[in-house]
Amino acid sequence: MLGLASLRFAALRSCASATGCGGNTSQLADGGRVSFLVPEVDEVDTAPPENVHKWRMVVAYDGTKFKGWQYQPSPPTIQCFLENALIRITKLDRKKLCLVGAGRTDTGVHAWGQVAHFTTPFAYDCLDSVHSAINGLLPPEIRVREISAARPEFHARTSTKSKIYHYKIYNEAIMDPFHNCYAYHSAYKLNPHAMRQAAKHFVGTHDFTSFANAAHNDRERRPIKKITRFDVTEMGPFLQLEVEGTGFLYRQVRNMVALLLQVGKEALPPDIVPVIIAARDRRELARVALSAPPHGLYLMSVNYDEEILKPPEGSPPISFGRTHQLSKCKLTFY
């Protein structure tokens, strides 16, 4: 495991551009405006010079042991381990790498399709060796599934078209111990039909203030989000909730799941959802539901327009990892 003390800290800055974190004022749904203090962040996100090369990674991780995605040296995070590996391989510091993730998953949240980009002042002719080296330096709970060259205008976070999250619920009287860290256990028999009816109310463009927790390091919050679908699927003892949207507020998915769980227990009717949305007050949700725990949540995929995913001309092939083959045995058999 790499020593965390070897990390070099880049200067922190607050984001103010329209394509980054936003400014310090926000337009509300009722036409009013409100000012925010935009705090400094720990994620290095400076615009790279023109002579650097940008690389896109798809990352999967078991979030059980980590303090979420966003960089902090102790306790360690996913970004911290990735940067540590990249610093060892590239000999660059944090500021030059400019590692940025598409989503800041919380403590204990898992991912199959997190996307991140980083930059280097040099190009690679082949990505397979770099890919293998990165994974060789990472703990087994984190794996880079894919690495490719990216266009200069590609940005893992601001180029996002939509994100898909799964929330897994194990709905039997006794929890399967093999899924204890990867699904929420509900011993109450849930009503999937009622949950589907409630989930339909989330679809569309709404102000999701009622479903957002405050975060001390949050950028300017834009509460208007679009949910394109929210499916409830029965899979044996599991209920899988799948939600796709253009973006999500801090803990929004877990708070929506929490309300659906109450509906599934038949403690609340499905039409409670539009009532809570209309309140635009987090305290209204807190009266009826607690946030769902993180270990059932997965960031499954981050979607982009096809055009921006096309690699620059002359780029090395995308690396999906090397496969190993056993060479022919030359021993004589008797």
Residues with active-site annotation: 106
55 close to 148: Cβ distance less than 8 angstroms: yes
> Distance from CA of residue 12 to its chain's centroid?
22
The answer to whether residues 302 and 288 touch, using CB atoms and an 8 Å cutoff, is: no
Q: Which of 132, 307, 127, 280 is nearest to 212 (CA)?
A: 280
Could you check whether the bond before residue 152 is cis, i.e. omega within 30 degrees of 0?
Answer: no
The residues, ordered by sequence, that sit 6+ positions from 113 with a Cβ below 8 Å of its Cβ are: 58, 60, 164, 299, 300, 301, 302
Cβ-based neighbour number of residue 16 at 10 Å: 12
Q: Is 279 helix (H, G, I), strand (E, B) or coil?
A: helix
Question: What tokens appear for 290 in the block?
Answer: 């607690």
Chain centroid to CA 125: 29
Q: Kind and range of the H or E element at 121?
A: none
Helices (H), 156-299: 192-200, 252-264, 272-279, 282-286
3-state class of 184 per DSSP?
strand
- Provide the β-strand partners of residue 110: 298
